[in-house]
Chains A and B, each alone.
Chain A
Amino acid sequence: MSNLSANDQMMEMFLFEMNTLLEQLDEVLLTSEKSGSLTEENIGEVFRIMHTIKGSSAMMDFTVIASVTHHLEDTFFYIRDNGIDQSHFTRLFDLMLDATDFLKSQLEAIQSGGDLAEGNDDLMNRTKDLYDAISGKAAPAAAPAAAQDVAAPAQTGSPTGEGTVYDVEIMLEEDCGMENLRAFMIVEGMRKFANILSYSPPDMETDPDTTSYIIVNGFQVIAEVDMDPDTFGDTIEQMNYVSSATVHLVEMEEERPVITGECYEVTALFEADCGMENLRAFMLLNNLRSTCNILYYFPEDIETNTASSEEIVKDGFRFMVETAQTPKRLEELILSSMHVASAKITDAEKSHEDTPELSMQDTPSPAAQQPAVQQHEQPGSPAAVKAPAAAVHKPIRQNLINVSLSKLDELMDLMGELVITESMVTRSPDLQEIPHLDNFNKSARQLRKLTDELQDMVMSIRMVPVSGTFQKMQRVVRDMSRSLGKEADLVTMGEETDIDKTIVDAISDPIMHLVRNCMDHGVETPDERAAAGKSPKATVALSAQNTGGEILITVSDDGKGLDAEKLLQKAAATGILTKPAGEYTEREAFQLLMAPGFSTKEEVTEYSGRGVGMDVVKKNIEKIGGTVLVESKKGQGMSVFLKIPLTLAIVDGMNISVGNSVYTLQITAISQSFKATKEQVILDTDGNEMIMIRGEVYPIIRIHNLYGIYDGITDIEEGILILVQSGEQAACLFVDQLLGMQQIVVKPLPVYLNRYDIKPYGISGCTILGDGNISLILDVGSIIDLVM
């Protein structure tokens, strides 16, 4: 990461931001489309997203993206101000979704270094047509102008009174190109640290003609900021493409916080002997400022004159506020301030006539107070309505950072080394020769606790919710229901479930495949559904659930389900049956679906049915240590269950010994372990050993035979049996003894050994034990496959 140039980093940020925004956009559009309405909030959201994409892409010189989003932004701008007629909805959503597709394709091209589109006239024209359509009779030429006129005030903030207002004149670097957009980006950039009150030319982001003006005259921004003019100027000059910034102080006369409401006169008494009453009074006013306009207070010199304490002690602290709060709430606010003993609140309306006189006497700055009173006297004036709105849009600081996955991977590797080293130290054979280890053991336990916590933390950093993956499926279902003439809803559950980032990436494609399968093969047409007595609209459900050691992801539909007999016929025809069709149970028949080259649908569709469906899903899921299970009821739908490990790298393992060799089993694979007697062992006609547990017969697999270990225990009564499970299969492994549980770091076998095909021999990897030796990790699934 660190050796990336600044430009690469910017590009990375850009791509990250784009992807996030487009995902948000998809979500907004799909929920809106589903509910058949566009809430104001959603319109605003889409507008904001388009706006940001436009700005960032212009900054990165992706002009096509910028111009497409620019037009869409205009459209949404119009909609935001004027609303949109229901009749345009379909067109609007289609346009928007196509646009997001286009943007995504462009992003992919950027990411993969492919060719970017040189323009998208189709989208631009459709946007323009739609714009004309929704703006009704407005002539196409006049409409954008109208939009621009409203643009200026809409992007103008209102001062909060917390900073100084400056007028800044900014000149751009020569030949930086697209000056109007650069200027706009700078204004947007300034919003991070300044409250932008207005800027000119006001329509610079929509009107390319402003470019020439900006080149010659620069552009002006009036902003309120909590900085001195020099710092402010310097900050701006450090921004991209800015050549100079000239800052002037603006004399503020009419600008004061606009809080409307009733006026109250308050007399506050402080606790006896609290001391420094003047400063307490000052603090009280400060606390109130967020909710009230302080009109005047007496004594007026509280912050500078300690003698004013005496007056406050004697007469109380008198002040007048204007606030939207109820008197009761105001009293609570005042009393919640430190050391305030009591507060007497009187409605100032009664003493209204006194107010001007008092203000003349007591208010240090009449100018500050006057307009506020005016505001009060004209309730419902535009400014009055605006103030609360401005308060709502107070920016929320985002306490998130982006970290590259490679760093997290490294962290994970280090964590693994640490876990191994810890057990090397605490289980060092040298320790066995030392008689008293109480202190060592105490510290070792502490170390253990800390590494455990650290490990949990490292794991949790890598965890991301599956919601992103699920969200993408909304789009799949929507598009497919349209093109296939089917009606379906996607219901998601448990999308907040957290999964390791690498696993999320790995399951995204399989899930997409399964959802497509549901839509393509499972869900019937509305007519078919009606005929079968189901509601015409099908439901595709996607759920994620953390079941402790693993994540269970279910993709299910209420479509026509699987027909075991048809499956078997088809399988027989493709020649993938391994035993007579009659011997297959229904369950086994369903699993045939995942055999390579098996597709139930005759014709190949755009989405699925190429015959590389379920087997690919199975392979991909197995690659990350998961299992796939299909369940179905004919006529009622089918479900596919994906069982996926929470994380790949560090797992709980059980060490077992066979002769001098040590092997490790994943705890999740073990059901139980037990001693058996000779009488319990049943032999089949081929002499294979089996054992009956709770009415079920399991084969016994002797690890020492499997791996040709001759120094191990062979007497069934001396060793121990471990009942292990992998998906649907189960067996008993016969080993010498259990050595104990340990957290293990899974390491792949050396690449050099790949040529020997070890994986099918039941070894999925290896791990380094506390004593530095290596233990092989047994993969229950392939051991059972090997033996059966």
Chain B
Amino acid sequence: MSEINHVEVDMAAAIGLQEDTMAGQYLAINLDDQQFGIPIEYITDIIQVQPITKVPNCPEFITGITNLRGKVIPIMDLRLRFGKAPQEFTDRTCIIVLEDEGAAVGMIVDSVSVVLNLDDDQISPPPTFHQALDAKFIQGVNRSESGVTLIMDCKTVLDDGALLRVDPDEY
């Protein structure tokens, strides 16, 4: 699986380099006071928070599963995924449905703001470390007058291998 992932990433990167002019679109989401950009091509849906069924033996950041129009999809709380403290859902909280290799996953975020059009040259490489966040989730940084947007590496967020293993003593 992971091998295939890399091949696809590389191809996407290659295409991106060739077609330099094509601006990337990113959905800006907020967690606490941080703004993240999610590449728009992953996003299939944005829905309100709806009842979630907890599933045993999953890490804490997997909130459970929900019914998206007859399809059962897993839900990940991005706050917990990024090691932030859990927070009560508000009416701005929503679920962003990402689809990668045919598998849909919902991500709970604090709120959604805008869609950003960013050229590749507007994105600088990620910092090697970040004071509040594991840098591997970030694939780039955009700085503008309005602030800093961290471009999320969806592949790693969805599956970074080792971290997803669960401690068997949890239950």
Contacts and interface: CB of A to CB of B under 8 A. Distances in A.
B135 interface: no
B53 A763 contact: no
Contacts of B164: 755-756
A773 B56 contact: no
A758 B103 contact: no
B74 A776 contact: no
Contact of B53 (A751, A761, A766): A766
Interface string B136-171: 000000000000000000000011000010100011
14 contacts: A661-B53, A708-B56, A749-B72, A752-B73, A752-B103, A753-B55, A755-B164, A756-B58, A758-B57, A762-B56, A763-B55, A773-B53, A774-B65, A774-B72
Contacts of A758: 55-58
Contact of B72 (A417, A750, A756, A763): A750
Contacts of A774: 51, 53, 65-67, 72
A759 to B, nearest CB: 9
Contacts of A709: 54
B108 interface: no
A766 B72 contact: yes
Interface in A675-732: 706-709
Contact of A768 (B59, B62, B70): B70
Interface string A205-223: 0000000000000000000
A756 B59 contact: yes
A753 B56 contact: no
Contact of B62 (A747, A751, A756, A773): A756
B78 interface: no
Contacts of B55: 749, 753, 756, 758, 763, 776
Contact of A753 (B65, B66, B70): B65
A756 B57 contact: yes
Contacts of B166: 756
B38 interface: no
A758 B66 CA distance: 16
A772 interface: yes
Interface in B85-123: 103-105
Interface of A: 417, 420, 661-662, 706-709, 747, 749-753, 755-758, 761-763, 766, 768, 772-776
A768 B67 contact: yes
Interface range on chain B (Cβ under 8 Å from partner): 20 to 34
The 5 closest A-B pairs by CB, nearest first: A774-B53, A761-B57, A707-B56, A750-B74, A761-B56
A661 B65 contact: no
Contacts of A757: 57
A758 to B, nearest CB: 5
Given A707-B171, A752-B74, A756-B166, A775 B53 contact: yes
A417 B70 contact: yes
A764 to B, nearest CB: 12
Interface in B29-75: 51, 53-59, 62, 65-67, 70, 72-74
A752 B105 contact: yes
B75 to A, nearest CB: 10
Nearest to B102: A751
Interface of B: 51, 53-59, 62, 65-67, 70, 72-74, 103-105, 158-159, 164, 166, 170-171
Chain B interface, DSSP helix/strand/loop, else mixed: mixed
Nearest to B1: A755
A750 B70 contact: no
A417 B53 CA distance: 20
A395 B87 CA distance: 76
A774 B73 CA distance: 10
A751 B71 CA distance: 12
Chain A interface, DSSP helix/strand/loop, else mixed: mixed
B70 A776 contact: no
Contacts of B105: 750, 752
Given A750-B73, A753-B55, A762-B56, A773 B103 contact: no
Contacts of A775: 53
Nearest to A661: B54
B159 to A, nearest CB: 8
Given A708-B170, A756-B55, A758-B56, 5 more contacts: A750-B72, A752-B74, A755-B164, A772-B67, A775-B53
B164 to A, nearest CB: 6
A750 B65 contact: yes
A179 to B, nearest CB: 52
B51 A773 contact: yes
Contacts of B51: 772-774
Contacts of A763: 55-56
Nearest to A775: B53
B46 to A, nearest CB: 18
Chain B CB within 10 A, most for which of A662, A709, A755, A757? A755
A335 to B, nearest CB: 64
Contacts of B72: 747, 749-750, 766, 768, 774
Contacts of B159: 755
Nearest to A755: B164
A750 B103 contact: yes
A751 B55 CA distance: 13
Contacts of B67: 768, 772-774
B53 A753 contact: no
Contacts of A706: 56, 171
Contacts of B59: 756
B45 to A, nearest CB: 15
A478 B3 CA distance: 49
Chain B CB within 10 A, most for which of A662, A708, A709, A774? A774
A761 B58 CA distance: 10
Nearest to A748: B72
Nearest to B168: A757
A749 B56 contact: no
Contacts of A772: 51, 67
Given A750-B72, A750-B103, A753-B62, A776 B53 contact: yes
Chain A CB within 10 A, most for which of B65, B105, B170? B65
A773 B65 CA distance: 9
A753 B58 contact: yes
A438 B139 CA distance: 60
A708 B65 contact: no
Contacts of B62: 753, 756
A762 B55 CA distance: 11
A428 B43 CA distance: 30
A753 B104 CA distance: 11
Contacts of B70: 417, 420, 768
Nearest to B159: A755
Given A762-B56, A766-B53, A775-B53, A753 B74 contact: yes
A662 B105 CA distance: 22
Contacts of B74: 750, 752-753
A403 to B, nearest CB: 24
B108 to A, nearest CB: 15
Nearest to B65: A774
Contacts of A662: 53
Nearest to B66: A774
B65 A749 contact: yes
